[in-house]
Chains A and B, each alone.
Chain A
């Protein structure tokens, strides 16, 4: 399977000539990537291509060795994680990372609170603050989790965890959503539900989607870019990608290696 990522002109998120090396291993090689506003871009990945290292520098986990990442005009290459979030770049985690001993509503309310000024308020009960609870309820409604708001996160199904992830990202009123394999580990029903949710969301937000699931990629993406072994090999509209020879070679070639 190949990596597909999206590259377009006018950009909200700009990843420029980013490279990341680990010793002799080149994880990402001169990646340039631009996500415009209000477009859904899909980034289809495999384990071998180190696409992680576009994603990780963008979220502040691993600094790139070369290159620059800009978001909404700000250079975020060296910014710590929490600052990127405050700038409006929200992300979900590939490996579910929530607050297991809190309820669903509490989780989202935390995300709301993070962007509601400082939290050095010591007296009023946070759980009774409408300013936190209402946006939280709203975000949960958008992802279809409204009836589960009082449930402890440790009791949710895997698919519901992924939905919650998106709700939390939404709760921060982001300008852009970076979704890392939101469909991972989901069955067909849950995936279809997630695709619908994302389809609704992309009308209001820019989304950079990193995904395995080709059906989802083609159902959602306006632009697709492919990465193989850390290097961009193609980018463009879905039909162009489908027809691209190098992409088919990379995809089918690996498919043959798997079959043969």
Chain B
């Protein structure tokens, strides 16, 4: 029991409690923007956790993960535009499209390693970005408004902001739990082993390519779900969601929070987006500060906030 009671775990629990209480606090002080901000944070945290599955645990640094946010989002958006508003049809399709795209991109990209892999995932994501710009019927560069959120009948009303927030939070926590189980399972051992020493894994008898591909697809699908949530949150979808700098943001969230744990990226997402919010209130040129912060994190806090907290609890 005492092994669990360290600074970092206390922090994690506190953070989850805080996230659960956001709507309550927002209602109390009458600031609904706060809830909107945190809905976005929770959704992107889900995307970051899915990225970390392949990146932190699998060693596959994908610079095109934001593409799945777009694919999930556009699947919903396109269906909505064509008059199909049922979430029971939209969401499975969003997941399926994300999975298929991940399968195609992964099958090709996983034939490469290291920096090639990074550049290739970047290139494929950019390809999807340009395709979306070319979709005139669905808004093209300007994007497309969604007039009706995904309908789930009497199950849940997504237009109810509080209900929607708790749905997102529940899905985030479910994602964290599922990814945690995956990472510690036999499958997860293969993935982590392949990150640690891929050649050796193959030498002892694991055909690592297929495992990495499956992992890649799982991560993409989860991120597609995040995309479905995002489009419902903003009532709007545009190619900007999948710009490569958005993929970069996801990577930053994972590294900032801590790539070594499943929950780390959640911490990173909260930290990054809150910091952005605060800084942009201070100056319109906040990226001048954010940019160097990324560099400093890389140089001095490579283990992320997780690492800092764990280091502090050791002392």
Contacts and interface: CB of A to CB of B under 8 A. Distances in A.
B214 interface: yes
Given A97-B199, A99-B200, A119-B211, A125 B205 contact: no
B113 interface: no
Interface residues of A, number: 34
B187 A121 contact: yes
B206 A123 contact: no
A86 B197 CA distance: 18
Contacts of B193: 99, 102, 110
Contact of A114 (B181, B182, B196, B205): B205
B231 to A, nearest CB: 28
A59 B200 CA distance: 12
A127 B183 CA distance: 11
Contacts of B184: 125-127
A235 interface: no
Nearest to A92: B203
B201 interface: yes
Contacts of B137: none
Interface string B182-225: 10111111101100110111111111000100100000000000
Interface in A60-98: 80-82, 85-86, 91, 93, 97-98
B186 A121 contact: yes
A115 B166 CA distance: 44
Contact of B200 (A97, A109, A115, A172): A97
B202 A81 contact: yes
B40 to A, nearest CB: 29
A200 interface: no
A122 B185 contact: yes
Interface in A117-156: 119-127, 129, 132
Nearest to A132: B186
Contacts of A102: 192-193, 196
Contacts of B192: 102
A119 B204 CA distance: 13
Contacts of B187: 119-122
Contacts, number: 86
Q: Give the dominant DSSP class at B's interface.
A: helix
Nearest to A124: B185
B202 A98 contact: no
Contact size range, B: 20 to 34
Interface string B26-45: 00000000000000000000
Contacts of B201: 110, 114
Given A113-B189, A123-B185, A126-B184, A100 B196 contact: yes
Interface in B252-274: none
B204 A172 contact: yes
Contact of A119 (B181, B189, B196): B189
A159 B108 CA distance: 40
Given A98-B197, A101-B196, A110-B193, A85 B204 contact: yes
A119 B192 CA distance: 13
A127 B185 CA distance: 8
Nearest to B180: A125
A231 B65 CA distance: 53
Nearest to B181: A123
Contacts of B214: 120
A99 B184 CA distance: 16
B206 A99 contact: no
A115 B203 CA distance: 12
Nearest to B208: A82
Given A97-B197, A110-B201, A126 B207 contact: no
A168 interface: yes
Contact of B189 (A85, A126, A172): A126
Nearest to B211: A119
Nearest to A108: B204
B203 A126 contact: no
A174 to B, nearest CB: 10
A125 B181 CA distance: 7
Nearest to A102: B196
B185 A110 contact: no
A183 interface: no
Contacts of A80: 202
B204 A122 contact: no
A122 B196 contact: no
Given A109-B189, A127-B184, 13 more contacts: A91-B203, A99-B196, A100-B196, A100-B197, A121-B187, A122-B182, A123-B182, A125-B184, A125-B185, A126-B184, A126-B188, A129-B186, A172-B204
12 contacts: A80-B202, A81-B202, A82-B204, A82-B205, A82-B206, A99-B200, A109-B189, A114-B201, A121-B187, A122-B182, A122-B187, A126-B186
Top 10 nearest A-B pairs (CB, nearest first) are A114-B205, A85-B205, A99-B196, A121-B186, A119-B186, A125-B184, A114-B204, A126-B186, A126-B189, A119-B190
